[in-house]
A and B are shown apart, each in its own frame.
Chain A
Amino acid sequence: MKRLRVAAAILACFLVLISVAGGFVPRFDYSRQDREHVSSGACSRHWLGTDDLGRDRFARLLCGTRISILLAPPAAMVSMLLAFAIGAVPGFAGGFAERTAKTVIDLVLSIPWLFLLLIVRAMLPLNTSPGTSVTITFLVLGLLGWAAPARILLARARSMRQAEFIILARSTGIAPFRLLWRHVMPNLRPVLLAQFWISVPVFILSEANLSILGLGVAEPLPSLGRLLRELETVLSLRADIWRFTPLVMLVLIVSSLQIAVSEREVYS
């Protein structure tokens, strides 16, 4: 089991490295069109072939992976901060704040996740520049993904309220903010980290889902979901089996991220 985890971590690092390194190679420009080879199969020049606008599919795959891998962690960070503020702080404070926070969290959790994403994404402008669309997509993910971690953090913080070290710290007359920062936060760190690592693959998948539906990253920027959309016409698959690569890449990233985080951390 441990060996598998190490292998998954190495694979994840490798994927991050190639996708980031691909951005510095001018040959892999995601938007350059090769009009002589439009929707061609795999060849020595275009390793995975080209799409119907003549853009190199391998370059687009690298770029899409880079966007997902580099932007999902900051989004997860945002949602962890929110989860801490909405879950852990009221859970530690108790009383009215705790009850309110619990109700809010349950309300948000009762709306199906993708549904919520779709609604919020539709309220924001859809015809924006590609850069803005990427930012909006991941910001929405980060701002909406706090509910499940917040619930776990709330339960943990509540159980910590009566802990002896907290009572000791209180009896020394510590300021509330300092108490949160120096005593509660370090003790919640394993839970926060585990939730962070769970959120990253979830966010990558959600972005792919949104982009498949045409509500995520805008053209001409590629993303994993957008590349998967090309698989919709199944007939072309028989001719060019390499079209499956985005799917394989997505599965690789998500599963390696998920395996690399040890189970003990996640399910304790």
Chain B
Amino acid sequence: MNQPAYLVIALIVYPKVHRYLSNLVEAARGMPHILTARAKGASESRMFLWHVVPVIRREVLALAGVSIGIAISAAIPVEALCGIPGIGQLTWQAALGRDLPLLNNVAMLVIGCVVLANSGADLLGEEPRRPA
């Protein structure tokens, strides 16, 4: 039932991420190891999955962490207008009713989510340890 609303949020986040992502992929595609892989005759999809994605993985994860914040921002008007009972609508009601303690707590919750998402992205983005 709520799927269109989530689609709207995704649509709001997408253009902000698109430029960075396409720049990243572009830069990764210009690296020398791609040329080697191509010379060896790797297929387009294999090259992308095995040679481009690992290079940009860390940046993509960081971008995902940042876009959590954008998505939460976008969720406020979307939830308020579509009548979805979520954090966004709660914030809206609290702001309209000047319920400052509630606003405070929701802010803490949201900041916690953003910080968690960012540190999670950092952790996942660490280089895997190779056996010596």
Contacts and interface: CB of A to CB of B under 8 A. Distances in A.
| Chains A and B bind each other | yes
Interface of A: 110-115, 118-119, 121-123, 126, 209, 212-215, 232
Interface string B25-59: 00000000000000000000000000000000000
B76 A118 contact: yes
B81 A121 contact: no
A207 to B, nearest CB: 12
A113 B114 CA distance: 12
A115 B72 contact: yes
A112 B13 CA distance: 13
Question: Chain A at the B interface: mostly helix, strand, loop or mixed?
Answer: helix
Contact of B81 (A110, A118, A119, A212): A212
A118 B111 contact: no
Given A118-B91, A121-B95, 13 more contacts: A110-B118, A111-B107, A112-B69, A112-B72, A112-B114, A114-B74, A118-B76, A118-B95, A118-B103, A212-B80, A212-B81, A213-B80, A214-B96
Which of B69, B73, B81, B115 has most chain A Cβ within 10 Å? Answer: B73
Contacts of A123: 100
A61 B91 CA distance: 28
A213 B73 contact: no
A212 B77 contact: yes
A215 B95 contact: yes
Interface of B: 69-70, 72-74, 76-77, 80-81, 91-92, 94-96, 98, 100, 103, 107, 110-111, 114-115, 118
Interface centre among A110, A111, A118, A215 (most CB of B within 10 A): A118
Contact of A112 (B70, B77, B81, B118): B70
Contacts of A112: 69-70, 72-73, 110, 114
Nearest to B76: A114
Given A119-B103, A122-B95, A215-B95, A111 B114 contact: yes
B80 A110 contact: no
A213 B115 CA distance: 26
Given A112-B114, A115-B107, A126 B98 contact: yes
Contacts of A214: 96
Contacts of B100: 122-123
B115 A110 contact: yes
